[in-house]
Amino acid sequence: MSETRHTEPNGKVRVLIVDDSPVMRKALRNIVTADPQMEVIGEAHDGREGVELAQALKPDVITMDIEMPRLTGLQATELIMSQDPRPIVIFSSLSWEGSQCSHQALELGAVDFMQKPASGIDLDMRHVRLELTRKLKRAAAIGVARLDISRDLQRR
């Protein structure tokens, strides 16, 4: 089943940030809020809280780190996509073109990925802001389907 995303009446793309690093959450919040077409509606400090907030807040798009306590970003992505699917953009130091982590995230239903810069200080670089903003807006417009975990587990 595919679902179409709708932004709030104010026209802004509603973003949920899921990352265990307070510094990274702040950097992501600054990137999102710098764009007048987007807003941060919540922040989660681990995968479990990310799943809970995704269900409660129903964001248009989610940024998801991979390495987090309680539930990894991959586990959280699988749960979100099997329960109440939302477009997810993986934003992790482990996600780059061709990485196993990126491939697995896409198999679990993430719609895109981007590698975090080596240093949090790099996050204020213009190209990182522009690329992430573009990916989030594009992801928010994508219809996503519920992940069938039973079928997926049979393939593994």
d(CA 75, CA 81): 10
pLDDT given at position 8? 53
Determine the distance from the C-alpha atom of residue 56 to the mean position of all C-alpha atoms in its chain, rounded to a whole number: 16
pLDDT at site 119: 63
* Structural domains in the chain plus CATH codes: 10-141 (3.40.50.2300)
Inter-CA distances, 149 with 15, 49, 73, Å: 25, 21, 16
Alpha helices in 8-109 (DSSP H): 22-33, 47-57, 73-83, 100-107
Mean pLDDT by 10 residues, the chain (156 residues): 47 96 92 96 98 97 94 96 95 77 89 82 71 95 72 45
